[in-house]
Structure 1
């Protein structure tokens, strides 16, 4: 059998913008070009956020191109002191060039959505043509790119009044990189309207040359007006709760200016509206700032209800009882936000939970105690929701109670039977299982420790699966029998909404993950299709950083070496002395305390949980891959695959 060569010539080094053109999906959404246009809009919005622009104008041209104009400072056009090239050229041609790294005093941007200097260079890489016009210091300059390369070097094209400044970027997206070359007008309008909402007083315009229509948005009372307009005629249970709070210079825990502005509405019926932003970047997948809002609202209402003895005996108020009918618009300002992925759909910054929660709780408690009648109405509404939840669960439990198999003895179950909340963690080893039991939230998290490595079940008939004790325990614990992809399966007996694989962040842990994923894919495929299987991602490293100035000592957890390198680079940029921090490496989950395991891996607000799906390969492609990787008679095919794909592996030895 012929095998391909794997030697020094096999290693390919991509330079400039070529990585983006080779793998665009790693850098942006590829369903349509909206996101690469949004990168340019975000840069204009950052100028407005800094108080240096009052206009953002987007124009959809008849030839399919899009231009974004602002009247901010204008991108610098002089030579970079180290790179000896025009700064505006570097911004659009280098993946990690930008003005948003320096967050110290005197930096170009204190708060911004851009973080990595990647955004508009991705826009350039995925466009057939891109033109930039800059007005600055009484001169207008232009530079033109094609397929990411400079075709017209930076040149002076006109003199302008010194008070006129700003940037115009015109983009021709390259259709081959996108599923559809059409920018969805409704989504673009939503993005622009959101910017106007968050940038009070800034005029945002959209001009559609194709239809001849012009739209404009300007909100002096942004968030409140937006939420009222969106909810339209919906009746509010209590008056809108609007507040904003930001850390001052004397704050010991957060940087000056960090905080949030929010508007919250409780409604008894109708749709709920939930929109959040971080430094003007929309976060449709939510994240830790939304978790902070939820926790702050819950803690304030619960505290008031307990103080006034409103909660009936036997009723436990949960966050969803307060939050279920909440509509909100939340605009957070975070100095150095950590997003999930380049498209920034979800905030991962752990400190944001405590930051937002503390501010929201304090503000709502003041409002509740100032208007006791309104507060009692809100608390009683949450209590009624809790009582209805308990009644519905009792009905479900009564229906399930007969004929339930005896649960495995080493399963530490949770109190709730609500599948929308419950989670089962399949934990590697008894030691880690002990930490997980102590660190979990027993109201909705169950723990099943597994001894050693689970059987490779790829070629085991489902009728013989229960001969293996570990697999037997997993099946009985989750309440679903083994089945095939074509079988009709009743998932009504499923005992947990999320089944989470929790193993060490090393090679052995990855092996256990693969064996359990093999089990679920081969014998419980309906659980994967229904989105019930997850992989928990514990950290491999911990950075212990001492107190610096007014900032208290902190611990930073990193998933892998890449995150560790990035975290250390940020500490250097903050001016933390290199030798002052300590690096710890977790040999396994058993080394982590219960508090550490909760904070990093099990707390829904701060953990990183990866949903399991078939991905781009689909059901059939995944089946073929598993057969090659796990089949006993596929050793030669595995060897060939390893020789071909060996350079993709990231080894941790």
Structure 2
């Protein structure tokens, strides 16, 4: 290789350069709609706080787009520490914004903007951006090009002392997008949703045309219910549409006043779906708020069915039976939402599941019992779905040889016979196994505790494997016999669609993972190739954050490793939490977690982190050589050389 790699090779990106260099990290690059959504979301945050009554969007003839609101207006004075006008900071500095500090309410108690990144990305990816602010009796104007100031902030006029607002006009730079055109259906859907979620706020869209402007405006007097009726496009539901809302109104040990949700629901004969929002941000990929609503609605319907004794013998309802026929709109309000990525398409806040499920269950159950006939129709639909599911589930005979296999005594099995849904957790240690048994969902999650470290089976013949009690118990519990790589394997006896290795987040836990992965790679390769093997990722640290008055209740945050811990602490500092006011606990092992913690962080499908283990087909030879070097009894010299050459790359908690 001829390229030189030295100190001068390292490039430091400053200001908005990272956005221009890698725009896909900060926004969706199919078209410029999302960078304009960032501006609309800022206006919506003003309306969400009760400061704006109007959001007007205009698509101009020259391809630019403007967003105007009558909110408080972006501050134009100098920042107390940066010495730069705040309006300039907002548009030119990443991670600068008014939504970090929520102490004592801050400028925004609830908001969709969280990272201080949105409009600075819009600015960076635009050939020109103009901002006009009305505030404190003056009209101020500023302009940018490619993220740089081209017209300094100046007062260009006067306005009434009580007049305020912001107008931003954007000319997106087509070089950064696959298509330079806005997605008009997406833009209209977004604005329509804002109108639904912000009752009393006038939302409009003007499309400038040579022959005359086209104006669209949205108003929903019945809120989410009328919006859902419109989305259903005339389809008749099984039972009447139901809308409701619930928020935390008093002091709560876990949630803040104002957190909660509003929703609209309807059940249909055919497959369904819906839309969800968090602080007015559309979450197209769902997340924990949708999971919470699903759980709350399921518990409500299940309670109704049990109360009226509607369930036939031998049929058991599952959440999918109830939820798979629901069309819905959900708008959640969360104080500190955590999203997956800057585009915020999926909510990952663990607490949101408990918040929404707790608030939705009682209103839905009350409505079902007040509308018994409608409730029975919904119950019948769910029961038919459950019966259909049961018919499609393949019954598996637990046989081995000529007799019935005796399942291991320490296996805590699940109730379901749905192989695709069932999960087996191979848990390190009896104490952790005890917590896991209490944390599991007994319907479809099974627990098999393992004592000590499993045999290194790399050089063990498959016929000798059953001499090891742990391996014997695993094979019988899973329902698959050992087989060589590439050998045809009989998976007809497989009892679990997911087999998850659950070990401590330390060196010993990693060693157990490697030993089990060696076993599966060498003697159960069909399970690996079929995507049945997973590794659970329990947290290593817990951060206890004290409450801050009535605004922010105490909370617990979990970190997978040191890097995540530091990111959490950095976020707490940015939110104004006093340094060292928090407490940090390090889990020495899974046995230290109580069942509720283990469930929330490691076992619940909507809040856990579970990584599928797969072997890349193109790397099969390399994988085999690496396993041989690491696990072979006669490869000590190779291991030593490998550790000397690559040992510095390993990041372990010792």
TM-score, with structure 1 as normaliser: 0.82
2:574 aligned with 1:544, yes or no? no
The Cα of 1:233 is off from its aligned counterpart by 2.7
Q: Judging changes above 3 Å, is the alpha-carbon distance between structure 1 residues 116 and 313 closer, same or farther for their aligned structure 2 residues? A: same
Provide the C-alpha distance between the structure 1 equivalents of 2:132 and 2:180, rounded to a whole number of angstroms.
Answer: 24
Provide the C-alpha distance between the structure 2 equivalents of 1:296 and 1:37, rounded to a whole number of angstroms.
Answer: 35
Q: Could you list the per-position Cα deviations for residues 214-268 of structure 1 after superposition, in whole angstroms to 9, with x for gaps in the alignment? A: 544332323111111111232222222211122224445432211111111112x
Provide the C-alpha distance between the structure 2 equivalents of 1:555 and 1:300, rounded to a whole number of angstroms.
Answer: 28
| 1:17 and 1:95 in contact (8 A); partners too | yes
Q: Judging changes above 3 Å, is the alpha-carbon distance between structure 1 residues 492 and 315 closer, same or farther for their aligned structure 2 residues? A: same
| 1:536 and 1:608 in contact (8 A); partners too | yes
- For structure 2, the 5+ residue unaligned runs are 630-634
Deviating more after overlay: 591-600 vs 79-88: 591-600
Written as runs of structure 1 = structure 2, the 5 A alignment for 1:222-261 is 222-261=223-262
Provide the C-alpha distance between the structure 2 equivalents of 1:228 and 1:454, rounded to a whole number of angstroms.
Answer: 60
Written as runs of structure 1 = structure 2, the 5 A alignment for 1:282-301 is 282-301=282-301
Provide the C-alpha distance between the structure 2 equivalents of 1:591 and 1:220, rounded to a whole number of angstroms.
Answer: 52
Provide the C-alpha distance between the structure 2 equivalents of 1:516 and 1:3, rounded to a whole number of angstroms.
Answer: 42
Q: Judging changes above 3 Å, is the alpha-carbon distance between structure 1 residues 167 and 623 closer, same or farther for their aligned structure 2 residues? A: farther
SS in 2 for 1:368: helix
Task: Give the equivalent residue in structure 1 for 2:317.
Answer: 317
Task: Give the equivalent residue in structure 1 for 2:632.
Answer: none
2:398 aligned with 1:397, yes or no? no
Written as runs of structure 1 = structure 2, the 5 A alignment for 1:52-451 is 52-61=51-60, 64-105=63-104, 107-160=106-159, 163=163, 165-173=165-173, 175-176=175-176, 178=177, 180-208=179-207, 214-267=215-268, 269-393=269-393, 396-397=394-395, 406=405, 409=408, 411-428=411-428, 431-449=431-449
Provide the C-alpha distance between the structure 1 equivalents of 2:413 and 2:624, rounded to a whole number of angstroms.
Answer: 34
Deviating more after overlay: 55-64 vs 269-278: 55-64
Provide the C-alpha distance between the structure 1 equivalents of 2:220 and 2:625, rounded to a whole number of angstroms.
Answer: 58
Q: Judging changes above 3 Å, is the alpha-carbon distance between structure 1 residues 52 and 546 closer, same or farther for their aligned structure 2 residues? A: closer
SS in 2 for 1:360: helix
Q: Could you list the per-position Cα deviations for residues 23-62 of structure 1 after superposition, in whole angstroms to 9, with x for gaps in the alignment? A: 4444333444433332222112112212223333344455
SS in 1 for 2:243: strand
SS in 1 for 2:395: helix
CA-atom RMSD in angstroms: 4.3
Task: Give the equivalent residue in structure 2 for 1:498.
Answer: 498
The Cα of 1:130 is off from its aligned counterpart by 3.3
SS in 2 for 1:168: strand
The Cα of 1:152 is off from its aligned counterpart by 3.3
Provide the C-alpha distance between the structure 2 equivalents of 1:556 and 1:305, rounded to a whole number of angstroms.
Answer: 36
| 2:368 and 2:374 in contact (8 A); partners too | yes
Deviating more after overlay: 281-290 vs 140-149: 140-149
Task: Give the equivalent residue in structure 2 for 1:51.
Answer: 50
The Cα of 1:279 is off from its aligned counterpart by 0.4
The Cα of 1:335 is off from its aligned counterpart by 1.2
| 2:454 and 2:512 in contact (8 A); partners too | yes
Written as runs of structure 1 = structure 2, the 5 A alignment for 1:467-478 is none
The Cα of 1:146 is off from its aligned counterpart by 3.5
Q: Could you list the per-position Cα deviations for residues 258-315 of structure 1 after superposition, in whole angstroms to 9, with x for gaps in the alignment? A: 1111111112x12313211110011222222222212222222222333333334444
TM-score, with structure 2 as normaliser: 0.82
Q: Judging changes above 3 Å, is the alpha-carbon distance between structure 1 residues 607 and 83 closer, same or farther for their aligned structure 2 residues? A: same
Provide the C-alpha distance between the structure 1 equivalents of 2:74 and 2:341, rounded to a whole number of angstroms.
Answer: 26
Deviating more after overlay: 102-111 vs 113-122: 102-111
Task: Give the equivalent residue in structure 1 for 2:14.
Answer: 15
| 1:543 and 1:556 in contact (8 A); partners too | yes
Provide the C-alpha distance between the structure 2 equivalents of 1:127 and 1:472, rounded to a whole number of angstroms.
Answer: 63
| 1:45 and 1:56 in contact (8 A); partners too | yes
Q: Could you list the per-position Cα deviations for residues 382-426 of structure 1 after superposition, in whole angstroms to 9, with x for gaps in the alignment? A: 344334433443xx1068979899587365432212145322334
Provide the C-alpha distance between the structure 1 equivalents of 2:204 and 2:545, rounded to a whole number of angstroms.
Answer: 45
| 2:16 and 2:121 in contact (8 A); partners too | yes
Q: Judging changes above 3 Å, is the alpha-carbon distance between structure 1 residues 188 and 521 closer, same or farther for their aligned structure 2 residues? A: farther
Provide the C-alpha distance between the structure 2 equivalents of 1:20 and 1:5, rounded to a whole number of angstroms.
Answer: 25
The Cα of 1:651 is off from its aligned counterpart by 6.0
Q: Could you list the per-position Cα deviations for residues 321-365 of structure 1 after superposition, in whole angstroms to 9, with x for gaps in the alignment? A: 332311111111111112233222222223322322222122123
SS in 2 for 1:40: helix
Provide the C-alpha distance between the structure 1 equivalents of 2:16 and 2:79, rounded to a whole number of angstroms.
Answer: 19
Task: Give the equivalent residue in structure 1 for 2:557.
Answer: 556
Deviating more after overlay: 523-532 vs 146-155: 523-532
Provide the C-alpha distance between the structure 1 equivalents of 2:645 and 2:216, rounded to a whole number of angstroms.
Answer: 55
Provide the C-alpha distance between the structure 1 equivalents of 2:328 and 2:217, rounded to a whole number of angstroms.
Answer: 23
Provide the C-alpha distance between the structure 2 equivalents of 1:515 and 1:114, rounded to a whole number of angstroms.
Answer: 45
The Cα of 1:111 is off from its aligned counterpart by 0.8
SS in 2 for 1:46: helix
The Cα of 1:81 is off from its aligned counterpart by 1.1
Deviating more after overlay: 498-507 vs 462-471: 462-471
The Cα of 1:589 is off from its aligned counterpart by 2.3
Provide the C-alpha distance between the structure 1 equivalents of 2:417 and 2:22, rounded to a whole number of angstroms.
Answer: 43
- For structure 1, the 5+ residue unaligned runs are none
Larger Rg: 2
Q: Judging changes above 3 Å, is the alpha-carbon distance between structure 1 residues 575 and 56 closer, same or farther for their aligned structure 2 residues? A: closer
Q: Judging changes above 3 Å, is the alpha-carbon distance between structure 1 residues 552 and 54 closer, same or farther for their aligned structure 2 residues? A: closer
Provide the C-alpha distance between the structure 1 equivalents of 2:230 and 2:527, rounded to a whole number of angstroms.
Answer: 40
SS in 2 for 1:397: coil
